[in-house]
Amino acid sequence: MTETTTTTRPVTIRDDVVIGGNDITLILGPCSVESYEQVRAVAEVLVAHGVRLLRGGAFKPRTSPHAFQGLGREGLEILRAVADEFGLLVVTEALGVEHVPLVAEYADIIQIGSRNMQHFPLLWAVGETDKPVLLKRGFMATVHEWLMAAEHIASRGNERILLCERGIRTFETATRNTLDTNAIALVKATTPFPVIGDPSHATGRTDLVIPAARAALAAGADGLIVEVHPRPEEALSDGQQSLPLEQVPALVDAARRIAEALGRGVPMPATR
Amino acid sequence: MTETTTTTRPVTIRDDVVIGGNDITLILGPCSVESYEQVRAVAEVLVAHGVRLLRGGAFKPRTSPHAFQGLGREGLEILRAVADEFGLLVVTEALGVEHVPLVAEYADIIQIGSRNMQHFPLLWAVGETDKPVLLKRGFMATVHEWLMAAEHIASRGNERILLCERGIRTFETATRNTLDTNAIALVKATTPFPVIGDPSHATGRTDLVIPAARAALAAGADGLIVEVHPRPEEALSDGQQSLPLEQVPALVDAARRIAEALGRGVPMPATR
Amino acid sequence: MTETTTTTRPVTIRDDVVIGGNDITLILGPCSVESYEQVRAVAEVLVAHGVRLLRGGAFKPRTSPHAFQGLGREGLEILRAVADEFGLLVVTEALGVEHVPLVAEYADIIQIGSRNMQHFPLLWAVGETDKPVLLKRGFMATVHEWLMAAEHIASRGNERILLCERGIRTFETATRNTLDTNAIALVKATTPFPVIGDPSHATGRTDLVIPAARAALAAGADGLIVEVHPRPEEALSDGQQSLPLEQVPALVDAARRIAEALGRGVPMPATR
Amino acid sequence: MTETTTTTRPVTIRDDVVIGGNDITLILGPCSVESYEQVRAVAEVLVAHGVRLLRGGAFKPRTSPHAFQGLGREGLEILRAVADEFGLLVVTEALGVEHVPLVAEYADIIQIGSRNMQHFPLLWAVGETDKPVLLKRGFMATVHEWLMAAEHIASRGNERILLCERGIRTFETATRNTLDTNAIALVKATTPFPVIGDPSHATGRTDLVIPAARAALAAGADGLIVEVHPRPEEALSDGQQSLPLEQVPALVDAARRIAEALGRGVPMPATR
């Protein structure tokens, strides 16, 4: 196969943030929205480091029905309130077709989770909204199936799609998943969609998040989505893979160094 | 780990067919409902061989949005009409939460597809119906995740669950998937749910369907779900893995021989 | 793909035992040869049930250099002495090229282990002996690579090859490996080589060995290789997957029932 | 799991080249040694860009026995002659125990191939030489098994081991293998061995080699081993993944930029 010449088509959100341009985009936040105080604590750190996108889960898909399933609408209200207070944009997941109108009302970017990558009715539903979609790759999906899922969304008229590589399932058990940097390089080179790397789910361990974030960017990712938490040890979900807020500066610095090595950048915080 | 003593809890449908008892249950039909004539041709062969369950897809989840997506409600009406005419029961898939009421109106057993095994809102929705659920294992789901998905259904009050092993995704490319007979033996030994094997999707090739059907039963499956078609070469989906109707007698005979070797049986056709 | 018509070419050993004919062949023995008494205890049970092939490891490939590595030449001498005493044939592994002459001197069938399936110098070395070769499939080898490995052996003049499916590595962790019954059916249908199933390594758990043995035979295997031990709980290797000798009758009975369902048989013990 | 503090123990070769120190090490050369002219053409480019390690295969493990198996001793002689002429060091594979003395005579670093990672007699044999060993991870090996293989080598007295991640086998078919950058980060953080990334085998396609090289270094690799060829389209093996010599400057530049972002460097060519 040969060098490709596809150029990424940037996605602009609220005439404000551009994803897929020269700058790297960071999307940070807790796995689950747990409280107003929790989200506010995260937002303060984001603003201090120039991060504009706040992620958080209000509806949580959990393997066990007995695990915390999220705050639902209250979680969305918390995200929106804190985001508006700090001038941030919200990325959050729609778990089912029935949630799409509600999520679209509160979110700036609608996330489709890994387990739902081939839930076609949901893809069609977000394809009929005017919100950008962060499409997580199924942990069992080939690159071909991932792009076909994007095609399901685009077929309903919404082409503002962000492809998110979050690790695939392999035989390796030392890490939660295997970050597929080959896939990042491949979709970056062969599709017009911006690519986001998720080092949190791809590794499942805090100590590997920053190296994996570097690898995703070096492979060509246009951004990163990373789970952070004020007190990971108390998180209601994914604590073992969440970065404590104290490590956000190290993450931003690592991303900036790799971005600059590639002739790209990471936005600086607005001066107050 | 040690020998287990769990006993299968049979699921009775319409006070008529029992799945998970001493007899093996066969569920046959086309991948997609294409026409009344097609389904009727299949039904005649089923009745002639004592098969009581008719499968067929009305809503088809397809990797590409440009592939045939099924006849929808019309497909359900065809299945019901033919089933009632021949005294058969209907097994068909609900693709999304929004389809559940409609599918529940026409089907005797609601199927959850492999791609939807972790679409929790759909699991909750079928968990609130009074219809038995055929839960296909996700092609990249561990046995633990599969049983947790069953738990999501049961948590809403519906414990009439049939676990269907339909092959998992591995590195092997000579077959579409890898039939996990270990998993069949394991869930049969450790859960109360009847287990169904799907040799069609597990192999993806007609020439391996009967050997795979034998293997599934030998591992302990209580039944088989097999794709058959009057003219596989003209099928709108899965033709390469559908058995032509002429091979139904060989399939039923193979199943009966293995069943008898295990002290079980396969129902004989009703004498007219 | 279409039905195939390849016929298995039986392999005859010492003008005595035929593998790949109408009868199913059982190959039983301990993972590791530990002592003369241990092997003798196993042999007595084999003879009592008509089993003619004794397996046992003298050179053990172990993941850790600190694990028991086998008795070496002494193990071979024990196997040969016991086999001759009871009129059995010996199947044992050659771990490296340098062991081939020694193993060929003591064994009736030389085993190539899963980890060595693509160790080409070893394949060439056994290809130059006059002993039948039991070629275990690599646990991450495609069917194509497995058949190419057989081709490496055959290319040196030795076509008396037995293909052994012993489970492949997948994402599933509930079992040690995943028995690939599709592969058994495929190589049985498309190659002239007899096929042996290994339910011990394929499951890694004693309670699943018999169901997996049934599945392998139902898929078309010409024989089974199974780890048995007088006291699995004291075994120096693979105890958790070894059948205690008390379960040999159940294994032989299960194999016979499936064999007969397929129009095949399992030899009865010689009457004394 | 928590942050680790293991420090890499550099490996020095011929009191000349240090691997695992602050500088990144590049190891370039053809998959197979085909001729003196071919290797010489490669060496000239290496020297021009400050690359000190020349790789090349003399004994080639090939899936098919009918594929080119390498030039053998003649290949070793060509590598040594060209390396001495240009002041380079040689990295080449020992395919079997029987080749170790010969390879040790010509090579500066002995490579153990992916298919041989668990061929223990070979690990023991190189463990008894005084040459550093480049241990490729089996494409099917867990990180634990990979480190146990290193332990087999070290158990014989040789601790000068370089761990090489060359991609693992997964369900993805768009690339030859999946580069496991998580594993690079993990072994870098938890073992004393230098880590080398192999973007050629990890991707299997020329157009992804440079992005994968960047990702490996960003994850923490101490070096890269890359297949290059004067005319990839005429290569006797691996042409589809070999970089043409014209792309060596781009590779070296990409490596240098990432290295510098990490506070490391890539040696500059000696001024003549």
The pair of structure tokens assigned to B46 is: 């089923």
Closest chain D residue to C120 measured between Cα atoms? Answer: D61
Cβ–Cβ below 8 Å for D63 and C148: yes
Residue in D188, D203, D240 closest to A182 by CB: D203
Distance between CA B36 and CA B58 in Å, rounded? 12
Q: Write out chain A residues lying below 8 Å of D205, CB-based.
A: 1
pLDDT at C68: 81
pLDDT at C63: 83
pTM of the model: 0.94
Q: Write out chain A residues lying below 8 Å of B62, CB-based.
A: 120
Residue in C182, C211, C219 closest to B220 by CB: C211
Domains of chain A: 11-261 (3.20.20.70)
Relative to beta strand D11-13, strand D17-19 is: antiparallel
Could you tell me which chains touch chain B, where touching means 3 or more CB pairs under 8 A? A, C, D
Q: Write out chain B residues lying below 8 Å of A138, CB-based.
A: 140
Instruction: Determine the distance in angstroms separating the CA of C195 from the nearest CA of chain B, rounded to an integer.
Output: 14
Distance between CA B83 and CA A146 in Å, rounded? 37
Residue in D99, D118, D144 closest to C61 by CB: D118
Per-residue pLDDT of chain B (272 residues; tens, 9 = 90+): 334 457 999 999 998 899 999 999 999 999 999 999 999 999 999 999 999 999 999 998 888 888 888 899 999 999 999 999 999 999 999 999 999 999 999 999 999 999 999 999 999 999 999 999 999 999 999 999 999 999 999 999 999 999 999 999 999 999 999 999 999 999 999 999 999 999 999 999 999 999 999 999 999 999 999 999 999 999 888 889 999 999 999 999 999 999 999 999 999 998 75
Q: Report residue D58's pLDDT band, with 50, 70 and 90 as the boundaries.
A: very high
Closest chain D residue to C124 measured between Cα atoms? Answer: D65
Over chain A, what HEC string results? CCCCCCCCCCEEECCCEEECCCECEEEEECCECCCHHHHHHHHHHHHHCCCCEEECECCCCCCCCCCCCCCCHHHHHHHHHHHHHHCCEEEEECCCHHHHHHHHHHCCEEEECHHHCCCHHHHHHHHCCCCCEEEECCCCCCHHHHHHHHHHHHCCCCCCEEEEECCECCCCCCCCCECEHHHHHHHHHHCCCCEEECHHHHHCCHHHHHHHHHHHHHHCCCEEEEEEECCHHHCCCCHHHCEEHHHHHHHHHHHHHHHHHCCCECCCCCCC
pLDDT at B63: 83
β-bridge mates for residue A92, sequence order: A110
Distance between CA B254 and CA B74 in Å, rounded? 34
Q: Write out chain B residues lying below 8 Å of D170, CB-based.
A: 171
Reported as a single tens digit per residue, the pLDDT across C203-234 is: 999 999 999 999 999 999 999 999 999 999 99
Residue in B174, B182, B216 closest to C203 by CB: B182
Task: Say which residue, A238 or B220, is predicted with more confidence.
Answer: B220
Question: Do residues D195 and D224 make contact, with C-beta atoms less than 8 angstroms apart?
Answer: no
How many interface pairs between A and C have CB atoms less than 8 angstroms apart? Answer: 7
Residue in B174, B188, B215 closest to C142 by CB: B174
Cβ–Cβ below 8 Å for B140 and D173: no
Closest chain B residue to A154 measured between Cα atoms? Answer: B65
- Report whether pLDDT(C1) > 60: no
- Report whether pLDDT(D1) > 70: no
Interface of C with D (CB under 8 A): 61-66, 95-99, 115-116, 118-122, 138-140, 144-145, 148, 151-152, 155, 169
Relative to beta strand A11-13, strand A17-19 is: antiparallel
Distance between CA D255 and CA D239 in Å, rounded? 22
Provide the 3-class DSSP secondary structure of residue C249: helix
Q: Going by C-beta distance under 8 Å and a sequence separation of 6 or more, which residues neighbour residue B206?
A: B232, B240, B241, B242, B243, B244, B247, C1, C2, C3
Could you tell me which chains touch chain C, where touching means 3 or more CB pairs under 8 A? A, B, D
Distance between CA A122 and CA A141 in Å, rounded? 17
Q: Write out chain A residues lying below 8 Å of C169, CB-based.
A: 171
